[in-house]
Structure 1
Amino acid sequence: MLIPFNKPYFVGTETRYIEEAVRSGKLSGDGAFTRRCEQWLQHHLGVPRVLLTTSGTDALELAALLLDLEPGDEVLLPSFTFSSTATAFALRGAKLIFVDSSSDSPAMDTTQLEALVTPRTRAIVPVHYAGVACDMEAVRAVAERHGLDVVEDAAQALDGNFRGQPLGTLGALGAFSFHETKNVTAGGEGGMLAITDLQLVARAEILREKGTNRAAFFRGEVAKYSWVDIGSSFLPAEINAAFLWAQLEDLEAIQQRRRAIWVRYFAELQPLAQLGVGLPFVPDYTAQNGHLFYLVCRNLTERTALIAELKQQDITAIFHYQPLHSSPYYASRHDGRPLPWAEHYADCLVRLPLYTELEESQQQRIIQAVLRFYQVL
């Protein structure tokens, strides 16, 4: 039987909550389930405001709008990341300055940040790859020295932490994803923006509501609502919030299961490290959140052969990002700096199946298949 790379998890109460939302007569968002999710997440993360969005991409775009970027302003971000990290700021006219990955992690090499800051730099956008924290102490130190904004791309990082503080709460803004490939989902698509800077809360509500002060109107703070700023339609439907609420109620159990799968992979695939195959690096200042497990093969040929071998055994393993600095869209705009580690991970990283319902017998099949490929079983 085929083992997929990902399988969305259903708690069992999603349809009941969706039916409840339908019967409420409030489907367009900001209803009871939206408020319930936002309040729960605010308490869970310890932030003053959380806004649900239609996707993690929209959360990043909302963050970029809040920064008031002007054409030519520079944003530092990793090259080894999903396109949404970049497009959110490119849409505002920003010049993207890509940072290489580090030798021991696909996350960006924070030691390179200082040298890349110029008078036009406005923001740093760290990505917490695989739910493992980027070095936020280093990021924040550079940001404070130069007066820069920090927007965390925490799409993969719910329930991750940096020195005990939740990821997505260490900058002014943190963008999360509830896509079906993430630890919890809002029914296939969804996201949220965590806001730690109180001065941004009122405007964030306006931008999320198409540039109107509609949220303030419904709270009775203004007599009528009108168009007061730029913005877009970032508010998700109440059905998505209902689905997400079911998942959040079961978050502890979901995380416990996913972390256990990750730990088993890490323990049983240790023999590969003796061959020079890379396993995930988790620094002392953080912990993995069970989002994904990857190997770093020794070269592209080996990675291609491993994926093909696993496919022959009905196991779906896949690679990840292609470097954004050399992408068809951005290659001609890149400043020409070589980013060898980003290219290394693009060629060599392979992700193994990891989802909440992955059975122990299925995981054992995967582990044995990988060990046989490397002839260490």
Structure 2
Amino acid sequence: MSSTDDGRKVNLFEPDIGQIEKDAVLSVLDSGWLAMGARCKQFEEEFAQYLGVKYAVALSSCTSALHIAYLLADVGPGDEVIVPSLTFVATANAVAYCGGKAVFADIVSDSDWTISAEAIEASITKKTKAICVMHYGGYSCDMDAIERVAQAHGIPIIEDACHGLGGSIASGKMIGSVGQTACFSFYSNKAITTGEGGMLVTNDAALAQRARLLRAHGMTNTTYDRVKGAMGYDVTELGYNYRLDEIRSAIGLAQMSRLPVALTMRKRLAAHYAKRLAQIAGVSLPNHGARGTPAHYVLPVIVDEEYDRDRARLAMHELGVQTSIHYEPVHSFGHYAKAGWSLPLTENVASRTMSLPLYPSLEEDAVDIICDRLASVLPGCKK
């Protein structure tokens, strides 16, 4: 440790929660209505307005949003959906929920970890029903190239935007405003959190209407609708219990008010990291194509081939810095590995990456301490 290191422990993330969230929760408890209702509708409206899309449908998780997005793309038994492997497993699992098959496509390069348009095109078959992109780390995929491929083959794009809230693509459009649908996560470590929760967005009125049916058992009127005067309901198709309640909706509304400042802080911290990491031999901070404005959801670095990433993570842990891996490749997990997928670029990057702490309340001097500790441990982690 350096002489300026005070020995503090640094968590990978800390949720940005304060009095406005506490007050919002109490107001719901005092209202007498806890299930999906007026606050959920307001959350949807404000979220859609922020993204510049027409419709937002609040859901219990990003996983449920992905499931519904695939259903809206008519994915069913025997169909294929092209997905990245450098993502959370839900991106692929939700395809299987529909009876479909996830087809894994490689990333662009070891400096751009988003799904490759060329790899997508090479993976298209007569069975391909949709393409799902994931804006890794809050860095936009090459949507211009991916849209050209999708349009040439008449295949819809679904955006897994769990990392991308607040970021933009090369054209300046918001991440999540481009695909047929897009899915967001409000898990506890996301840009805004409701503890658990998600949102599906679209510009298609018919898709939004069907998504609302699917999230609530296929019912044409919810309990809140009936309290407000709707008489009875029909069930028009097989639906699910994917609703977002008023408590989490209220937290989401409070979190939306924090988002602009939180994004500014993330950008400032990422810039400070970039300056410090440039001075450390053996590690680099990829720019993932430098398209649009990143959301800076996580701070993923990559160590040179000569270093043992896992030893470096253990050493950082022993010095009080929590790190993570985004991600172990989905195709390498036991459930998927039996298919024998080979994605050389994904596999190489996944074996060398680790994510450093990044969240709005992190101080710049903590970034200095993290980088000093990383610089101190790396020389001892050569293979």
Bin for the TM-score computed over the shorter chain: over 0.9
Worse-superposed segment, 104-113 or 154-163: 104-113
Instruction: Report what 1:268 is aligned to.
Output: 276
Q: Which amino acid aligns with 2:78?
A: G
Instruction: Report what 1:122 is aligned to.
Output: 129
| Offset, 1:209 | 1.2
Q: Please point out which of 357, 360, 372 is paired with 2:364.
A: 360
Q: Please point out which of 220, 228, 234 is paired with 1:226.
A: 234
| Offset, 1:11 | 3.5
| Offset, 1:228 | 0.8
1:79-94 correspondence runs (5 A): 79-94=85-100
Q: Does 1:249 align with 2:257?
A: yes
Q: Please point out which of 366, 372, 375 is paired with 2:376.
A: 372
| CA contact 2:130–2:156 (8 Å) conserved in 1 | yes
Q: Which amino acid aligns with 2:366?
A: Q
Q: Does 1:312 align with 2:318?
A: yes
Q: After superposition, give the CA deviation of every residue in 1:77-116 in whole Å (9 maximum; x if it has no partner).
A: 1111111000111111112110012212221122212221
Q: 1:25 to 1:99 in 2, by over 3 A?
A: same
| CA contact 1:59–1:192 (8 Å) conserved in 2 | yes
Q: Which amino acid aligns with 1:193?
A: L
Q: Which amino acid aligns with 2:365?
A: S
Instruction: Report what 2:3 is aligned to.
Output: none
CA RMSD of aligned residues (A): 1.9
| CA contact 2:54–2:202 (8 Å) conserved in 1 | yes
| CA contact 2:277–2:284 (8 Å) conserved in 1 | no
| CA contact 1:280–1:293 (8 Å) conserved in 2 | no
Instruction: Report what 1:199 is aligned to.
Output: 206
Q: Please point out which of 317, 338, 343 is paired with 1:332.
A: 338
| CA contact 1:5–1:317 (8 Å) conserved in 2 | yes
Write out the 4+ residue segments of structure 1 that deviate beyond 6 Å after TM superposition: 219-222
CA distance in 2, matches of 1:297, 1:284: 20
Q: Please point out which of 106, 128, 141 is paired with 1:134.
A: 141
| CA contact 2:57–2:208 (8 Å) conserved in 1 | no
TM-score normalised by the chain length of structure 2: 0.91
Q: Which amino acid aligns with 1:141?
A: R
Instruction: Report what 1:64 is aligned to.
Output: 70
1:148-163 correspondence runs (5 A): 148-162=155-169, 163=171
CA distance in 1, matches of 2:271, 2:10: 19
| CA contact 2:72–2:207 (8 Å) conserved in 1 | yes
Q: 1:28 to 1:298 in 2, by over 3 A?
A: same
Secondary structure in structure 1 of the residue aligned to 2:192: coil
Q: Does 1:113 align with 2:120?
A: yes
Secondary structure in structure 2 of the residue aligned to 1:158: coil
CA distance in 2, matches of 1:137, 1:360: 35
Q: Does 1:30 align with 2:34?
A: no
Instruction: Report what 1:285 is aligned to.
Output: 291
Worse-superposed segment, 149-158 or 206-215: 206-215
| Offset, 1:54 | 1.1
Structure 1 unaligned segments of length 5 or more: list them: none
Secondary structure in structure 1 of the residue aligned to 2:368: helix
Q: After superposition, give the CA deviation of every residue in 1:142-176 in whole Å (9 maximum; x if it has no partner).
A: 11111111110000110011121011111110000
Secondary structure in structure 1 of the residue aligned to 2:354: strand
Q: 1:221 to 1:341 in 2, by over 3 A?
A: farther
| CA contact 2:117–2:149 (8 Å) conserved in 1 | no
